[in-house]
Amino acid sequence: MTLHESLLDAVGDTPLVRLTRIASGVPAPVYAKVEFFNPAGSVKDRAALGMVLAAEKSGALAPGGVIVEGTSGNTGMALAMIAAQRGYGSIVVVPDRTSPEKIKTLEAYGAEVVVTTGALPREHPEHVRNVATRLAARTPGAWYANQYDNPANPEAHRTTTGPEIWAETGGRVTHFVVGVGTGGTVTGTGGFLKEASGGLVRVIGADPLTSTYSGGDGSPYYVESIGHYLHPRTAEDEYPESYDPSVVDRFERIGDRESIMTVRRLAREEGILAGGSAGTAVAAALRVAAALTPDDLVVVLLPDSGRGYLSKYFDDGWLRRFGFLEDLADTPTVADVLGDRPAPLTALPSTATVADALHAAGALVPVRLPRSGGNATTDVSEVIGAVRPQALRALVAGDPSASAAPLRRHLLPSPPAVGIGEPVDEATARLDPDTGTAWVLVDGRVSGTITHDALSPARAAGPAGRAT
């Protein structure tokens, strides 16, 4: 057994495991680089250690100092673990969508956790990175890790992750599939594999459908620690300096539902409990492997453990509330009441006028933050209110000049939301009996409306009243 002088010596040398069941239908073998074997549970241990060692060497981080970082969780946990082992303090700023498990883990390592709003433009003073920068500036002895622009991030993967994969496969790897977040993993690992193979290894980025990395509109998605979100009010979008786009040969774009269902399959068919971004990567790897031959070899990187997401991707109730799971056979659900799957609702931007809403279909229309090139459906987190076209038509009939008024002057509060696969009794409980209307979510996006009156008969009927 190998003896280590500290836990940090155990970072890296993670196993490469063949996926035998979930990938049984594809011709090329698929191997998973299982990064949750790192001490703090994710691939970010590598980058965090590399950045800390570089900061110590340069003098930017002195003994007794404080490590500060803005992160969705994994880099923060890795830095907090390293800080605890090396005697530093740590302050970690996380967005409010970060899972409770990650926050509790950070606190367990002794980190001071600061939670800020996640869906903010890059220029906003409360944006995760701006809060972290401000805290670092006013904290004595602080060092801001800045994983997004720190060259030690990709360098850690160039010197560890890439060489490990090359050695473990005996140089046989032909395709490397990985999610792109800060870009450090794909840049460092992919860059090394391309050089080692003389340019023969193909690097495929696994990306959420709406991420701007692969051409999406930048709207929100539900898989954490991956992709590039763009707030509609961000003045100038900037990619992390850790990311070199030239390393990626192409992208596979994966929707939230496919990512989530794939990571659940990974747990139940392979016994590998991994995080949501691993589902994105494995779904992409299966697509890639399906078009290859047995002579090829696909390596897919699984960034972290599913233990940090037990209240999300592995929680059936959470998935039903957001419209990702439709699995109840003996209980009336919102889908049963609707009968047919709802057509996507086209949301109006908050910059629209009353005239723009006069021809909108439906009794209640969502109003969202303005976003160019938006999808047919809108993530519920970007809905800021609602309007009733019938009321606006009556308003304009009495005063034609009102049609030019900004729509934001006539916004109603946004109603609650229910998932399409949610049990009727749970959905009904969140609606007002007199005026209750709710958005219906499919994959976290507003795709219809339903009323308390429509739900009540099915609730009273129980399982026997289920529609067929």
**CA angle 330-335-339, nearest 5°?**
105
CA dist 80 → 32, 140, 308, 468 (Å) = 26, 18, 16, 53
Phi, psi of 91 (to 5 degrees): -125, 125
Which residues have C-beta within 8 Å of that of residue 136, sequence separation ≥ 6?
Answer: 68, 91, 142, 143, 144
Spatial contact of 84 and 96, defined as CB atoms under 8 Å apart: no
Number of H helices, E strands in the chain: 16, 17
d(CA 143, CA 417): 42
Residue 148 in contact with residue 175, Cβ under 8 Å? no
44 catalytic residue (yes or no): yes
CA distance 33 to 302: 6
Supply 187's token pair: 């840049």
Say how far apart CA 264 and CA 120 lie, in whole Å.
30
Alpha-carbon distance 404 to 22, whole Å? 56
88 — phi, psi (to 5°)?
-100, 160
First and final C-alpha spacing in the chain: 60
Cβ–Cβ under 8 Å, residues 310 and 443: no
Residue owning tokens 């698929």:
30
Residue 311's H or E segment, with its range, is none
Active-site entry in 44, 102, 194, 312: 44
Tokens of 406: 């900004």
- Burial category of 63 from C-beta neighbours within 10 Å (exposed 0-12, middle 13-18, buried 19 and up): exposed
Catalytic residues: 44
